[in-house]
Structure 1
Amino acid sequence: MKIKRKVVIGFVGSQLDGGQRTERWEKWRPSVSLTQHDDLVIDRFELLYNGKFRDLSERVTRDIATVSPETLVAIHEIPMRDAWDFEDVYGALFDFAKNYPFDTEHEDYWIHITTGTHVVQICLFLLTEARYLPGRLLQTSPPRRGGDQAGYQLIDLDLSRYDQIAQRFSSEQAEGVAFLKSGIPTRNARFNTMIEEIEKVAVKSRAPMLLMGPTGAGKSFLARRVFELKKNRHQLDGKFVELNCATVHGDGAASTLFGHIKGAFTGAASNRPGLLRSAHQGLLFLDEIGELGLNEQAMLLKALEEKRFLPVGSDEEVASDFQLIAGTNRDLGAEVLAGRFREDLYARINLWTYSLPQLAERPEDIEPNVDFQLALFAMESGEKVSFNKEARTRYMRFAMSGEAVWNGNFRDLAASVTRLATLSDAGRITDAQVMDEIARLKRLWRHSVQPELLTGLDLFDSMQLEAVIAVCRQSKSLSDAGRKLYAVSRDAKAKPNDADRLKKYLARFDLHWDEL
């Protein structure tokens, strides 16, 4: 194994390294003492100083040459106005690190943090942690009482090398994952892996996050838990602000998000700050972001990139620094191709994208979520409720079977358990009550797309039908759904009737709007 050269980078200590007469050899001077260890040879010492300490740097250089002729000392002036000003010091040291010709293949770098102002030491630490200074931190200490040998210690910022610290970090991460899951012992491997990654991203990044999944899959719940996790870690000072973009349209959407000034439009009787400003230093969750109009998408992109935007009707920009989590049950990639979603905004929010599986895709997680809902009911009502053995067996068998559609996902499950708990007698859910609840669920789901209906169709037709029904369920009326589904082709018709076209399409499958 080839031995690398040892290179120390450190500031001259205006006090600790000082001294002009022979008495200076009787005191501990960190920079000089480092080169006096019998078991340590420093090949090169990069000695940094600001302008007024050049004479001291040259004196330390001569003293090092006296005690360690094999150590080459190179002095570097680091221009800074105030060694106690963080911005000034960090910028000067960053420039040094950026321009220094590091050769990590042949040299090991030790960053000396014993000398210099506390601000200098902090900046050296930060630059080393960020790997702008690719080395290890070095601390030195004076001889202990009665001894004549000064000490030194290397600190490796790879915390995984320190077992106890690594265990604490691992434990902290496990607690974060459990927090995101609200303590629910989920068993689905895909879901658990996804939550573990979300925990890492949540505590390390402020970049936008995109949560995809059907209604009721838990997008809003997870976004709020991410906010609470970051709030607990003191990473956010603001509040959690939430909007379902499907509930706002046109000028109302822009006003709700970006605010408006008095008189901006009819009905704007006073100024309105808007949700983006309300989310300053906090987290903004925009569910169903695919429902936003193209103009609002452009304004949102500017706000994300520049932290500034124009309220409706205003000529003066306002500022807001927030983290965004977006939710959608649409394929935004397909929406981009169709021209309904901006490609640049999609690229901006698509860095961390997670697809939340449907409840039916996580049958092993139904039971722990049932227990969670019962615990939640007990906390809210003050009454503990549980299944008897036969009832629990019957309910779980049905809930995990193909008969259970769970088209509302966890909302359906939560509503079902709440009904059972509310109707229970003396805190016990009986077999008869479970049978009634199963019958109720089947009635609620009878107008869902039946599996036997889809099995008679080509894959293309079945996927198209499912997509059409999903749009219908998210729309306010038959006409509203028709406008969304035929937004492009309607322009080619002289007298477009979107509602009639949609009604005829549904009739092919014996489906009716009122059923959906």
Structure 2
Amino acid sequence: MKSLTVIGFLGSTLDASKFGPSRWNKWRPTVGLTMHPDLRVDRFVMLYGTPHSRLAEYVAEDIASVSPETKVDMRLLDFRNPWDFEEVYGKLLDFARGETFDPESEDYLVHITTGTHVAQICLFLLTEARYLPGRLLQTQPERGSTDPAGKWSVIDLDLSRYDSIATRFAVASAESTSFLKSGIETRNANFNRMIDEIEHVASRSRAPILLMGPTGAGKSLLARRIHDLKKLKHQVAGPFVEVNCATLKGDSAMSALFGHRKGAFTGAVADRPGLLRSADKGMLFLDEIGELGLDEQAMILRAIEDKRFLPVGGDKESSSDFQLIAGTNRDLGDAVASGIFREDLYARLNLWTFRLPGLADRREDIEPNLDYELDRFAEREGQRASFNKEARQRYLAFAASSEAVWQGNFRDLAASVTRMATLSPKGRIDLVCVEMEIQRLRRLWAVRADKGADTLAEVLDDQAIDSLDLFDRVQLAEAIRVCKVSRSLSEAGRALFNVSRTKRASANDADRLRKYLARFNIDWGAITKSAN
């Protein structure tokens, strides 16, 4: 059987009494807890201050008289101000770290009846954080009785032991995850597990969150729901500020993100706070963060770590305390290897990374999302639409089949439902309406599949395209796509040759790419012109 150690403060008021026989007619919590036949205290660690040294010795003598088996360890712990939370917590933390605890052979109870309210709170916090590896002990006098022992009870901070509390926490957690899913009863097991993790992280951490996934997978909506959930729980007070980094190009990017001072450049007729400043006390969502330039990435990293940044043209730093959520459809690891994304920023973002699957990978979730989009249409347009039985079955059968590629993911589904609900006679979506929509989706996805040909058409004429082998068409179309999203010929070369470039003693990626494009009579200027 393990021995029992109790840790507690001497009660300068509750443990005090006249030094005479009458003291045994009074409940004194520190002495009383050693008088219970059903609570054998093997060791009592008594915390006391210098002004109460005589009382501490007297109480220790009384404990020895009623419980000879209890060893009293007297620990002097002085506070300049016993109501100063920082001082009391700091000294108690030092005490806890300096103790040698052996939970394998000893049980521990932390007595929170004595001491100032500040001391009691600190003991609670240290026990909850497991710096003091025990349970909380409360004592109180027996009402209507002169029994000096009083009553005792133990509080176990493992909430899972309390059925009603555990049930309430489970319900609250389920409500939070449902909130993050906009109330949609999703069925994909992997997605549901991911949302559970996000709920835990969002509720307990202010660290950056990185949402990865294809365009239309729901990154923006999820980021907004995370902010709304934290606001409901009073964890953030500020706004949700969303930024599409793909729209921030050139000199205007710095000004939009970090603000500028009046006169910083031509057209800066007034101070501008910037989007980071606007997100103070709230949440900043940087969608498509992989599109930011390296200079902007460096300033974002400092703003995350130090909560400070320098506006354009400013000589005084601004501050903003925001939580960051970043979204991207790029593989940032590949972007780091290509030299177009900072490794230190990626490391900072990569603490909590969640990959949102596309709709084609969550086909079992199409039906609940179909109903969700119908409800959204009703809220938005003020009129409800619904399927008849045959039409619903036909649409779901097509939507779940391999024929439905869902290239635009949930955006495609939302647009599809909007079209059917708008075109349905009297709000009833019938089989004819569904068949028309299926044909529309087929045409839409066929056009997107030909996007490579469209890309070539922007820089080559039909005769030049017809002269290319299919192999060259596919390769050239991808090379042009990378060039269009890159800021320079060198950056595009690094992205395209990021593997082979490491195998050569020296590399001029820009020259290599220039020569490749020249084979097809294409120059960098023609590509950048088509991108604008």
TM over 0.5: yes
Counterpart residue number, 2:302 = 302
- The amino acid that maps onto 1:486 is G
- The amino acid that maps onto 2:380 is E
Check whether the contact 1:80–1:89 (CA below 8 A) recurs between aligned residues.
yes
Deviations 1:113-163 (A, max 9, x none): 111111111111111111111111111111132473511111111111111
| Secondary structure, aligned partner of 2:436 | helix
- The amino acid that maps onto 2:103 is T
- The amino acid that maps onto 2:391 is A
Change (3 A) 1:194 1:301: same
Counterpart residue number, 2:204 = 204
Is 1:239 aligned to 2:239, yes or no?
yes
Counterpart residue number, 1:53 = 52
Is 1:392 aligned to 2:392, yes or no?
yes
Counterpart residue number, 2:503 = none
Counterpart residue number, 2:79 = 80
The within-5 A match list for 1:151-170 is 151-170=151-170
Counterpart residue number, 1:254 = 254
Check whether the contact 1:284–1:323 (CA below 8 A) recurs between aligned residues.
yes
Change (3 A) 1:484 1:440: farther
Between 78-87 and 39-48, report the one with greater CA deviation: 78-87
The within-5 A match list for 1:302-341 is 302-341=302-341
Counterpart residue number, 1:224 = 224
Which runs of no fewer than 5 residues in structure 1 stay unpaired?
Answer: 454-460, 506-512
Counterpart residue number, 2:15 = 17
Check whether the contact 1:113–1:138 (CA below 8 A) recurs between aligned residues.
yes
TM-superposed deviation, 1:252: 2.1
| Secondary structure, aligned partner of 2:394 | helix
Change (3 A) 1:424 1:345: same
Relative to the length of structure 2, the TM-score reads 0.86
The within-5 A match list for 1:70-219 is 70-146=69-145, 148=147, 149-219=149-219
Deviations 1:163-203 (A, max 9, x none): 11111111111111111111111111111111111111111
Change (3 A) 1:154 1:499: farther
In 2, Cα distance between equivalents of 1:240 and 1:48: 48
| Secondary structure, aligned partner of 2:412 | helix
In 2, Cα distance between equivalents of 1:501 and 1:235: 58
- The amino acid that maps onto 2:207 is A
Between 380-389 and 141-150, report the one with greater CA deviation: 141-150
Counterpart residue number, 2:422 = 422
In 2, Cα distance between equivalents of 1:217 and 1:186: 14
TM-superposed deviation, 1:502: 9.2
Change (3 A) 1:444 1:333: same
Is 1:43 aligned to 2:42, yes or no?
yes
Q: 2:493 aligns with which of 486, 490, 509?
A: 486
Relative to the length of structure 1, the TM-score reads 0.89
Counterpart residue number, 1:362 = 362
Check whether the contact 2:112–2:137 (CA below 8 A) recurs between aligned residues.
yes
In 1, Cα distance between equivalents of 2:222 and 2:16: 58
Check whether the contact 1:486–1:498 (CA below 8 A) recurs between aligned residues.
no
TM-superposed deviation, 1:427: 1.4
Check whether the contact 2:338–2:494 (CA below 8 A) recurs between aligned residues.
no
In 1, Cα distance between equivalents of 2:85 and 2:479: 55
The within-5 A match list for 1:433-472 is 433-449=433-449, 472=481
Aligned length: 495
Change (3 A) 1:88 1:98: same
Is 1:350 aligned to 2:368, yes or no?
no
- The amino acid that maps onto 1:437 is E
In 1, Cα distance between equivalents of 2:202 and 2:132: 26
TM-superposed deviation, 1:38: 1.6
Deviations 1:309-338 (A, max 9, x none): 222233323322211111111111111111
Change (3 A) 1:401 1:480: farther
In 2, Cα distance between equivalents of 1:34 and 1:224: 52
Check whether the contact 1:481–1:499 (CA below 8 A) recurs between aligned residues.
no
Check whether the contact 1:478–1:502 (CA below 8 A) recurs between aligned residues.
no
In 1, Cα distance between equivalents of 2:49 and 2:517: 76
Check whether the contact 2:489–2:513 (CA below 8 A) recurs between aligned residues.
no
Q: Please tell me the root mean square deviation across aligned C-alpha atoms, in Å.
A: 3.0
Between 403-412 and 53-62, report the one with greater CA deviation: 53-62
TM-superposed deviation, 1:373: 0.5
- The amino acid that maps onto 1:118 is H
TM-superposed deviation, 1:495: 9.6
Change (3 A) 1:321 1:479: closer
Change (3 A) 1:478 1:145: closer
Deviations 1:339-371 (A, max 9, x none): 211111111111111110011111111111010
Check whether the contact 1:98–1:132 (CA below 8 A) recurs between aligned residues.
yes
In 2, Cα distance between equivalents of 1:359 and 1:500: 40
| Secondary structure, aligned partner of 1:421 | helix
In 2, Cα distance between equivalents of 1:241 and 1:20: 65
| Secondary structure, aligned partner of 1:304 | helix
Counterpart residue number, 1:509 = none
TM-superposed deviation, 1:80: 2.1
- The amino acid that maps onto 1:377 is F
Check whether the contact 1:212–1:354 (CA below 8 A) recurs between aligned residues.
yes
| Secondary structure, aligned partner of 1:447 | helix
In 2, Cα distance between equivalents of 1:143 and 1:278: 58
Counterpart residue number, 2:502 = none
In 1, Cα distance between equivalents of 2:175 and 2:121: 29
Is 1:63 aligned to 2:81, yes or no?
no
In 1, Cα distance between equivalents of 2:488 and 2:391: 41
Counterpart residue number, 1:382 = 382
Counterpart residue number, 2:6 = 8
In 2, Cα distance between equivalents of 1:113 and 1:361: 54
